[in-house]
Structure 1
Amino acid sequence: MAKFNPNDFLECHTNDVLNVLKSMKSAFPWIPKLSRDDIWELLFYSILLHDIGKCAIGFQKAGAKGKIWGYRHEVLSAAFTQFLDYDAETKNLIALAILTHHRYLSELPVPTRVEEFVWDGYLEKVNELLKNADYIEEVFLPKVPYWEGYILGKRSGKFKLPSDWKNKLKGYDFDDLMNWYERNCKAHRDVLIFLKGLLNAADHLASAGEISLRSLPFIAETLELKIPREKWRPLQEKANNVRGNLLLRAPTGYGKTEAALLWADANAYRQKKGISNRIFYVLPYKASINAMHERLLSYFKSPELVGILHSSSNYYLYSSSLEYKRLSSLYQKIFTPFKVTTPFQIMKAFFGVGFFEMTLSELANSLLIFDEIHAYEPNVLGIILAMLEILNGYGSRTMIMSATLPSFIEELFAEVISPKELKVSNEEADRFTRHRVRIIEGNMEENLEELAEQFKANGLMPALIACNTVDRAMETYKRLKAKGYRVMLIHSRFTYGDREELERKLRSNLNGYDFVVATQVIEVSLDISFKTILTEPAPLDALIQRFGRVNRQGWKQGKIADVHILTRGSEKDEKVYKPYRIVRQSVKILEELNEDFLWESSIPELVSEAYSSVEKELVESVLDYKQTAFDLFDGLQPLKRSGSEQEFYKMFQGLEIIPSRFAGEVSKLIDAGKGIEVHRYLVPIPYWKLFAIQKELGNVFTYDKKHRMMIANLKYSHKLGLLNESEENEIF
């Protein structure tokens, strides 16, 4: 048996993995050019031998009883590569791929003659394997010529067991293999990446019950079923004719997503049954990723064709009533041709996180679409630039698009990917104009009640009140609530379950509220339209994203809505936006436009002007991060666990905590095997906020080892979210 519960014979599992290989060979014809000409043959023999160590009688007996054997079968499997008719270098490459197809080298008990105890353990396990030597000789070996013909188209006879194979198995020189790896890893880096990555991918897919990859149907033909070609906009038509990297700038609402899909269609590798490139649609926020996944499913119909990957995509699939266990597993593999994801999921591969060779193999010759590229901090932009420069060498093509991209960011990407450029003409852009600037002197505290009354008197409800901090949003909510208005508060410090419920209420009954008070989360989340907005000052590109929640379809009727911008925020805003002079410059620009239309054609130039005073330092910061990323990537070794993995999580991930009032319920869910439901009770907290709370309130965080969860001894309100008050204090 190769697997138990359910049982799967070794030759059956091997056959399934080889079927995946056959599918890969057809789908990814570019792999040999990126590694070596005979990579498919090397992968064939890696698959052929990857599980042969499971013939050990100890593995069979332990598995039949539902127990763990306690030894790594891949160690025994790797020793069989000495019987391949290749030169020593090629045999070592195959052996290393087999040896690490479950664990990295640092995690394996690689036998060494230097340590007698370790070597004796290996010999003991070889003897266990040899008790099933008749199976290897009489059942497994006779199938090899058939498999060679099926996959390679010929009976190569590269694998033969000599008469003394049993003794030779006991004498395999693992020390020599490891020494060869240390000397030659860098020279054979790409081959090792693809060999291990594709072996992992094929093995994982076969184990999941899938024996072939999926291909995407031709995109232009699919789009035409919903949008007839004669209704394509000029830039969409042009995008469908661009070969190579592309930078596209167009207003919100123009149809950039469809333009991106048509660009992907033009650059895809086409086969009879569809497109076999892997396509990654990259967005910065989970909410916009979830919305995009739903949108793409409306085009391509099958969740097997359009996947989703972010830190809580499992829960999204679960709450969407999709087959979450199966799909969330498949989306981690080279199965789904189109994935909507965050840049962090792609970055993992470059930081050596997880089965990074598998991700790098999938990224080869991929099509990458970066939407909302303006939303990233300099550290993320620097890493993205470094990744794209590396992926250029692997045949990948990239499309960058935004409605509000500063010119200096455009130039940074132009230096790396040398894209063709498509921009909407000024005349066409101005057709999407739908906002008029209204500057309000002072801050939220000074103006809120008076403006709320004006909005009510002028029929401008529901209105959006956008705040820069959660604390300011809570204060604003309470003041409006005290005046008797129907108000909703939404920010990042609600549990995921409450946030989901709040967004559902907004989508289904927006007119049931006079005001929605929100932080930056509103910039990218919901496809809803307010009548007006009152916002604290922020960088101009962020403000334009906020304005995008107002009068969203007004351009269709030529309708203009007022957007109200305060000239001052709160003292804490300088910690949110750095350097803060971007905000001051943005306010100054908008003051000059007071009472005037915000013409869409002027936005790119205005955004660039807002950043002009800090352009030099931001460019330097981005390039510093880019170089740091290159240095990290250069030190990445295939088959080894990277030291950069912890650095990755520290850089980009905060914590998800459980408010203490829900700790008992969460413990019950975990004990009942309903761990997926726990997501409803999690509140995301960045590390800086964690440290700030600890500094103010002391150690209010405790770790539950049994249930592996961080509990915050803080008050929580379903209407206000997580509060900066310890549970002992009285709630207001």
Structure 2
Amino acid sequence: NQNPGRSKRIFYLLPYTASINAMYKRLQRDFKYPELIGIQHGKAIYYLYQSFENEDYLTATEKAKQVKNLTDKIYRSYKIATPHQILKSMFGIRGFEQNLAEMSNALIIMDEIHAYDAHTTALILETLKILKGYQANFLIMSATLPSFLKEMFKQELGITTEISFTESELNEFTRHRVSVLKGSIFDNLELIQEEIDDNKKVLVVCNTVSQAQHIYELFSQEIENSALIHGKFILRDREEIEAKLKDLNLLVGTQAIEVSLDIDYDVLFSEPAPLDALIQRFGRVNRKGWEESLIKPVYVFEQGSENDKYIYKNRELVSKSLELLSKENILSESTVQKLVDEVYSNGYQGSDLASFEMVKENFPKFHSKIVPFINERENQEDFYKLYQSVEVVPIQYKLEYLEEIENKRYFEAMKYVVSISVGQYKKLINNNQIQIDSDTIFASIDYSSKLGLLLDSEEPLLGIFS
């Protein structure tokens, strides 16, 4: 924000709440004017409440509400948020007139743009094209952005300036030796155990929650200093797990470890995934190895689990990624971009391309129906379909949850909430495993503070134009 009057408002957009919380905390600590920094995402109010943990409940609640209310207004000129916070305006959600006014002539930073699926990428691109008409300026950032996406954003948004490292500068950050291992994770359990026995800090990444739970159960009985992390823990347990991630001998996780967790391990074992996802996983190992020219190993298994097809539908991207990595040894940082471009040489394909084109075709028609000071309920419903998740409370915590609600300790009650997919929710309804009490959904699912929700299926996510 280099303009003389510092009058432009800045929206720093990240894909994950963990990323947003970490960036907000960092800027609150380092920025000259911390009161100008705001945070916006679905659980921002809870995060703010937790930041006042040394206060009594009523004081912490009031302070959290006060901070959030000022952020929701125009008071704070720097906002760290998810893209959904700007997408709201395109759907005519109540207050969109103020939001559009605030984004007029703003600086919008899209970080980790590679993290979105084709459907969400199309929504973001169409939204930015509209905001360009409001004289907004854009900075698109990523460490692993396929060239086809980079060129698309440059062309559609009229971006002419590109900032990048030279090849020699990139290679100064080389720090991984990559190996593709035959078989699945179950064929290589002994190798994982050897690294643990050698006092290495070991990171294992699986593609599904159920697979991660299974692997964790196999190893954790003999390794006391270990943990499992994924998206199916209640907030209370997730917070406790994240607090101890730095000092573990073994961490087993899902894609949850790919972003914004401040961790550094000695060796990685990963199930197969598209190259850009694997690069993010590699980044959790030997994070500052370039300072001492250290190279550490990262292993990728040739085979995943049967349910991987729900997570990564385009199997060709996965197989192409493995084929290219199998030819590498020391993975130089300058090679990474070339490999990513080769994997995505054909751009979006199949269902990804269909989803992307559908949004591009329908979004302008949809947005043209938005009228100031008129909030259509149907538009609001369409927007919240983007989330494709349902918040539930495991039935074993029903009494604790309702007690907190009865005592009006609503933020304490939130600690018992976990999100599941719409598909999983419908399956639970069909199996009579859902109770609704006091407008809260309780799920009759086994839950463990160490393993999380014990669901036996993975469900794909769909978008509103699918």
Task: Return the TM-score normalized by structure 2.
Answer: 0.92
The structure-2 alpha-carbon separation of the partners of 1:485 and 1:589, relative to structure 1 and needing over 3 Å to count, comes to: farther
1:477 aligns with 2:210: no
- How far apart are 1:588 and its partner, in Å? 0.8
**Residue 718 of structure 1: aligned partner:** 449
1:657-687 deviation line (CA, Å, top 9, x unaligned): 1111111111111111111112211101121
| Alpha-carbon distance in structure 2 between the residues aligned to 1:383 and 1:630 | 10
1:141-200 deviation line (CA, Å, top 9, x unaligned): xxxxxxxxxxxxxxxxxxxxxxxxxxxxxxxxxxxxxxxxxxxxxxxxxxxxxxxxxxxx
1:488 aligns with 2:227: yes
| Alpha-carbon distance in structure 1 between the residues aligned to 2:240 and 2:282 | 24
- How far apart are 1:590 and its partner, in Å? 0.7
**Residue 630 of structure 1: aligned partner:** 364
What is the aligned counterpart of 2:423 among 688, 691, 697?
Answer: 688
- How far apart are 1:483 and its partner, in Å? 4.2
- How far apart are 1:602 and its partner, in Å? 1.3
| Alpha-carbon distance in structure 2 between the residues aligned to 1:692 and 1:287 | 28
The structure-2 alpha-carbon separation of the partners of 1:654 and 1:599, relative to structure 1 and needing over 3 Å to count, comes to: same
What is the aligned counterpart of 1:357 among 87, 91, 97?
Answer: 97
- How far apart are 1:613 and its partner, in Å? 4.9
Percent identity of equivalent pairs: 40
Q: In the alignment, residue 608 of structure 1 is paired with which amino acid?
A: D
The structure-2 alpha-carbon separation of the partners of 1:653 and 1:346, relative to structure 1 and needing over 3 Å to count, comes to: farther
**Residue 291 of structure 1: aligned partner:** 22
| Alpha-carbon distance in structure 1 between the residues aligned to 2:344 and 2:209 | 25
| Alpha-carbon distance in structure 2 between the residues aligned to 1:320 and 1:355 | 27
- How far apart are 1:422 and its partner, in Å? 1.2
Question: Quick check: 1:582–1:613 contact (8 Å CA) kept in 2?
Answer: no
**Residue 355 of structure 2: aligned partner:** 621
1:604 aligns with 2:337: yes
**Residue 127 of structure 2: aligned partner:** 387
- How far apart are 1:485 and its partner, in Å? 5.6
- Structure 1 residue runs of 5 or longer lacking an equivalent are 1-264, 726-732
**Residue 647 of structure 1: aligned partner:** 382
- How far apart are 1:620 and its partner, in Å? 5.1
1:523-556 deviation line (CA, Å, top 9, x unaligned): 0131110001000000100000011100001111
Question: Quick check: 1:481–1:487 contact (8 Å CA) kept in 2?
Answer: yes
Q: In the alignment, residue 163 of structure 2 is paired with which amino acid?
A: L
Question: Quick check: 1:280–1:339 contact (8 Å CA) kept in 2?
Answer: yes
- How far apart are 1:415 and its partner, in Å? 1.6
| Alpha-carbon distance in structure 2 between the residues aligned to 1:693 and 1:613 | 39
| Alpha-carbon distance in structure 2 between the residues aligned to 1:668 and 1:693 | 25
What is the aligned counterpart of 2:88 among 337, 348, 353?
Answer: 348
Instruction: Work out which of the two has the higher radius of gyration on C-alpha atoms and give 1 or 2.
Output: 1
- Structure 2 residue runs of 5 or longer lacking an equivalent are 53-59, 457-466
**Residue 443 of structure 1: aligned partner:** 184
Question: Quick check: 2:148–2:347 contact (8 Å CA) kept in 1?
Answer: no
| Alpha-carbon distance in structure 1 between the residues aligned to 2:383 and 2:163 | 34
Count residues with an aligned counterpart. 444
| Alpha-carbon distance in structure 2 between the residues aligned to 1:609 and 1:620 | 21
- The equivalences for 1:319-468 within 5 A come to 319-321=50-52, 323-419=63-159, 420-448=161-189, 450-459=190-199, 461-468=200-207
Question: Quick check: 2:264–2:284 contact (8 Å CA) kept in 1?
Answer: yes
The structure-2 alpha-carbon separation of the partners of 1:560 and 1:312, relative to structure 1 and needing over 3 Å to count, comes to: same
Task: Return the TM-score normalized by structure 1.
Answer: 0.59
Question: Quick check: 1:386–1:627 contact (8 Å CA) kept in 2?
Answer: no
Greater alpha carbon shift after TM alignment, 484-493 vs 579-588? 484-493
Q: In the alignment, residue 644 of structure 1 is paired with which amino acid?
A: N
Q: In the alignment, residue 372 of structure 1 is paired with which amino acid?
A: E
Q: In the alignment, residue 104 of structure 2 is paired with which amino acid?
A: A
The structure-2 alpha-carbon separation of the partners of 1:358 and 1:527, relative to structure 1 and needing over 3 Å to count, comes to: same
- The equivalences for 1:135-154 within 5 A come to none
SS in 2 for 1:422: coil
**Residue 699 of structure 1: aligned partner:** 432
- How far apart are 1:624 and its partner, in Å? 2.5
1:498 aligns with 2:237: yes
- How far apart are 1:358 and its partner, in Å? 1.1
Question: Quick check: 1:489–1:517 contact (8 Å CA) kept in 2?
Answer: yes
Q: In the alignment, residue 184 of structure 2 is paired with which amino acid?
A: N
Q: In the alignment, residue 167 of structure 2 is paired with which amino acid?
A: N
Greater alpha carbon shift after TM alignment, 465-474 vs 320-329? 320-329
| Alpha-carbon distance in structure 2 between the residues aligned to 1:302 and 1:280 | 16
Question: Quick check: 1:304–1:327 contact (8 Å CA) kept in 2?
Answer: no
What is the aligned counterpart of 1:517 among 229, 242, 252?
Answer: 252
What is the aligned counterpart of 1:663 among 392, 398, 419?
Answer: 398
- How far apart are 1:644 and its partner, in Å? 1.8
Query: Higher helix proportion, which one?
Result: 1
The structure-2 alpha-carbon separation of the partners of 1:654 and 1:303, relative to structure 1 and needing over 3 Å to count, comes to: farther
SS in 1 for 2:386: helix
Question: Quick check: 2:109–2:140 contact (8 Å CA) kept in 1?
Answer: yes
SS in 1 for 2:411: helix
Greater alpha carbon shift after TM alignment, 350-359 vs 532-541? 350-359
| Alpha-carbon distance in structure 2 between the residues aligned to 1:486 and 1:325 | 37
- How far apart are 1:623 and its partner, in Å? 3.3
| Alpha-carbon distance in structure 2 between the residues aligned to 1:551 and 1:457 | 19
SS in 2 for 1:598: coil
**Residue 324 of structure 2: aligned partner:** 589
Question: Quick check: 2:275–2:318 contact (8 Å CA) kept in 1?
Answer: yes
- The equivalences for 1:40-59 within 5 A come to none
- How far apart are 1:411 and its partner, in Å? 1.6
| Alpha-carbon distance in structure 2 between the residues aligned to 1:654 and 1:277 | 35
Q: In the alignment, residue 229 of structure 2 is paired with which amino acid?
A: I
**Residue 304 of structure 2: aligned partner:** 569
1:311-357 deviation line (CA, Å, top 9, x unaligned): 00001011111731100111111110100000011101111112111
Question: Quick check: 1:373–1:400 contact (8 Å CA) kept in 2?
Answer: yes
Greater relative contact order, per chain length (Cα 8 Å cut-off, separation 6+): 2
**Residue 119 of structure 1: aligned partner:** none
Question: Quick check: 1:485–1:515 contact (8 Å CA) kept in 2?
Answer: no
- The equivalences for 1:168-187 within 5 A come to none
| Alpha-carbon distance in structure 1 between the residues aligned to 2:186 and 2:416 | 32
Q: In the alignment, residue 421 of structure 2 is paired with which amino acid?
A: P
Question: Quick check: 1:282–1:370 contact (8 Å CA) kept in 2?
Answer: yes
| Alpha-carbon distance in structure 2 between the residues aligned to 1:410 and 1:445 | 38
Q: In the alignment, residue 313 of structure 2 is paired with which amino acid?
A: K
SS in 1 for 2:35: coil
| Alpha-carbon distance in structure 1 between the residues aligned to 2:391 and 2:32 | 33
- How far apart are 1:474 and its partner, in Å? 0.5
- How far apart are 1:616 and its partner, in Å? 4.4
Q: In the alignment, residue 241 of structure 2 is paired with which amino acid?
A: L
SS in 2 for 1:473: helix
Question: Quick check: 2:27–2:34 contact (8 Å CA) kept in 1?
Answer: no
The alignment yields a C-alpha RMSD, in angstroms, of 1.6
